[in-house]
Amino acid sequence: MHGLFCSLFFLLGGATSVAQHINIITAKLDGETKEITIQQEFIYKNHSDDILETIYFNDWSHAYSNKNTGLAKRFAQEYRKSLHLAKDEERGYTKIVSAVDNAYRGLRWERATGQDIIKVQLNKRLAPGEEQKIFFTYTVKLPSNKFTPYGYGPRGNFYLKDWYLTPAVYDGKWHLYSNKNLEDLYTDVTNTTVNFSYPTGLFLASNFRVLGSSPFSNDQQAQLKGEKQKNCEIILSPQKRFETHVTEHLTVVTDIETSKYGKVPQGLSINKVTNFIFKNLGAYPHTKLLVSEIDYDKNKLYGINQLPSFIRPYEEQFQFEMKFLKTALINILEETMYLDPRKEQWLSDAIANYLMIAYVEENYPDQKLLGKLSKVWGIRSFHLAKMDFNEQYPMLYMLMVRRNLDQSLLTSNDSLIKFNQKIANKYKAGLGLSYLANYIGKEKVDNSIKSFYQHYQLSQVKSIDFKSILKRSTKEDINWFFDDYIATDKKIDYKIKKVVKSEDSLRVTLKNKTGIDAPISLFGLSNDSVVSKYWFSDISTVKTFTIPKNDEDKLVLNYDQKIPEFNQRDNWKSLKGFLSSNKKLKFTFFKDAEDPYYNQIFYVPVLGFNIYDGWTPGMRIYNKTLLERPFVYDFAPSYAVKEKALVGYGKFTYRKYHGKSGLYVSNYSFRGSTAHFQENSRYSTVTPSVSFAWRPSDLLSNKRQVLNFRYVNVFRNKDESLEDFETPPDYSVLNLRYINSKNDIIDYSTWFVDAQHASDFTKLAFEWEYRKLFDNNRQFNLRFFAGKFLRNKTTDYLDPNFFSFALDRPTDYLFDYSYLGRSEESGLSSQQIVIAEGGFKSFLDERYRFANDWITTVNSSTNIWRWIEVYGDVGFVKNKGQSEKFVYDSGIRLNLLTDYFELYLPVYSNNGWEVSQPDYGTKIRFVVTLSPKTLIGLFNRKWF
């Protein structure tokens, strides 16, 4: 009876069958002009209950047309200049010639959202159940594939996807989504026929059924048909790359391969994967499945499998099967489950990644994350080498959680940080189903997925339908999964607060540290073997449970790590006594994954350089794992070869996250360092500091505000053979700085206010910097600086300029800058420049290089060809007892890597024509940054 009821439910309330839109396209690709001329006959059927006066169509090819589309803006957010700097012939666009109805009356149309949505005004209102025929004539200019995989390539290849007009979805409201390179076109399902002409010498592969293909004298023609499919995907290449594999349950057309893995084994692996998919999902409703390298490249297996092939860590069979499985699952779900991919992408991600986890558990249970590298001497001792392959899912998801950058699975796809959109949210979704399966039973989750897929395929569906099926499969309360795990960014985090032993039982008190009422597993271990396992739920804050005593010597929460828990370092409790509860120390070379059962200490050699210390080899000792943690210590004692003395630094840092927006983080630190600033002359600094940072609710925004307090204490010792200090050897400065920045690649703007107070001076400074990349690809840089002493007793020093504002090279009395030779007044190291304070590049007269009263300068530059720029600086310098002096310089800037490696070639200044003066080489200035961390941050910023 129950089975009959379920059948009736799916027939009556499940996927409803409605008449499809009809789409007939005649298209001709010109291989020379990279244009497709299209005549499209579209029969739109009003499936809604509303009368429609307008219809919207997706025109995603037009997203490449200019620098202000939704796609161009998305690229700018990801620090990608390619589309902004593109030549006109590299861009793509749609040129609509005409749009008429079935009476051949012209239809008014206009571009809407993001410039790649077309709004068509109907001549006659369209009632529910009625249909309207529309004829479009237009040309699509394909973009170069240097921006995305779509368009034309340099070797005569073409990849067409989302290339013609498709109907937007209307379900009481229009869902209008611009192309943002997110693979989430939301279009109504259609029955489509494509009559396609393309150049000779090219081989065609498609996700549609190819009804026939005929060669002609000047081109080739193919007819492609897709029933209840969203979009026709066409791949054209000069070589025949695709092969057809007919398996028991599915016909696959693919060009995916792995080096050193033969055709026959590949066929066996494809058969193995398709059998797995059929067993877990059911029959695929279309005649064939296209699985391409291009699709794989859009959704890679991120990780060490992307290393060069000669050090590839995985066996070829495993590598091929995982690559094929991931691509096939994504394509199958995209072609059959018509969810809103921008709003409900999490469900497709959950099913795909859950099945990937299950595939490894079923077929490769012993597969390690590092593969063959886990057995290599020097690597095998790492905790990372001991981790199973599937442990990458919680680790990479937790990478964002620990950085306070995780986002809810219901976050719109175009509002996700790139790392979340590509990796973390997909992994969280798959982990969630795996977690649920571990709690309520794998069979129940498996059956729910299969039922959902079979009954809702080829129809518009919502994730609430999956929720209904899943809830009916179990008696357990799983509302927490949808209401908290899916819908929020709440963290799961428990700890064992207390254990009271009695003769035959254990009273275990568990604490919920975050408030999300998700179930938690508790394992009893004896000699590291599991002897008991329990599930506990309904723990809002603190709750005590009584369990039988089974000779356990240790209790561990989430021992199998099936639960994506925020902090596992407090998950265990020893039953052997107090001293046995202390974690053992584990020393590891270089950084490692977090091992919750050890206190990890890392060490790695470091090497620094300045002209006084020479090379400074040392050993860095720290506790920071691959996952961020609140408290970090970091020490780097080093040996100065030239000075034959110890130098280095040490610091303690505590970071507290408060939320996602507004005041989101506080940092507290205590740092000390020591090095040499002249021959046999040492400086040491001790600096406590606290900072607060704010950001907007839109995590894609690069806007930040930071308020920093620090108290810098400097102690200096000078070589007795050198002259006495001309300034106090020891001093302390209280420094307050507020920074407001918007670090965008098109519009960069940042400003700060800085206040410093010491026993002999108080000063204020303001700096504003702006960079603009214009539509004509010219970049303009502007910087303004102003500083004023509120009081200044340093004019009585023998060196009155030590604490003064600098026009071109700050003295760096707070030791913030990485000068190669901070005390040098000649030689190459003296030509190093940090763009700070006055920001001038020329060496002007000593009378004007410092200001002990006030200074104001403007620095500007603009490019004349690629990274070659012209710069100019003007300003006023005012010293006490003197009138202000107008200063200026100009020259050529080689902006090889902004802020990291630049050269400045002076041309004209207060010194006159510098290029004609002797020893010109000594006038050239350079910016250099040697910090690997800073450079890595430059390339990682598009991900975070």
SS3 (DSSP) at 874: strand
| Axis crossing angle, helix 392-402 with helix 425-440, rounded to the nearest 10 | 120
DSSP-derived letter for residue 457 is: T
117-126: strand order across its sheet: 108-111, 117-126, 52-58, 166-167
The residue-averaged pLDDT of 880-901 equals 90
Place of tokens 């040392």: 618
State pLDDT tens for residues 652-673: 999 999 999 999 999 999 999 9
Q: Over 60: is that where the pLDDT of 491 sits? A: yes
State pLDDT tens for residues 15-61: 444 568 999 999 999 999 999 999 999 999 999 999 999 999 999 99
**CA 532/CA 548 separation, integer angstroms:** 9
DSSP 557-622: ETTT--S-BS--TT-EEESS-SGGGSPEEEEEES-----TTEEEEEEEEEEEEETTTEEEEEEEEE
Q: HSE on the CB side for 753, CA within 13 Å?
A: 3
Confidence grade of residue 4 (pLDDT, cut at 50, 70, 90): very low
Query: C-alpha 789: how far from its chain's center?
Result: 43
Q: Over 70: is that where the pLDDT of 524 sits? A: yes
Structure token pair of residue 22: 């009809």
Q: Over 90: is that where the pLDDT of 174 sits? A: yes
The residue-averaged pLDDT of 523-532 equals 90
**CA 630/CA 566 separation, integer angstroms:** 12
Q: What are phi and psi of 505, to 5 degrees?
A: -150, 170
**CA 414/CA 892 separation, integer angstroms:** 40
Beta bridge partners of 862: 780, 870
Place of tokens 């090889």: 896
CB atoms closer than 10 angstroms to residue 217: 5
State pLDDT tens for residues 835-865: 999 999 999 998 889 999 999 999 999 999 8
**CA 196/CA 224 separation, integer angstroms:** 8
DSSP 244-289: EEE-SS-EEEE----TT--HHHHHHHHHHHHHHHHHHH---SSS-E
CB-based contacts of 375: which residues, under 8 Å, 6+ apart?
none
At residue 304, the pLDDT reads 62
At residue 5, the pLDDT reads 36
Give the sign of the dihedral formed by CA 832, CA 838, CA 842, CA 846. Answer: negative
Q: What is the 3-state secondary structure (H, E, C) of 700-756?
A: CCCEEEEEEEEEEEEEEECCCCCCCCCCCCCEEEEEEEEEEEEECCCEEEEEEEEEE
**CA 697/CA 693 separation, integer angstroms:** 13
**CA 274/CA 266 separation, integer angstroms:** 12
The residue-averaged pLDDT of 729-743 equals 95
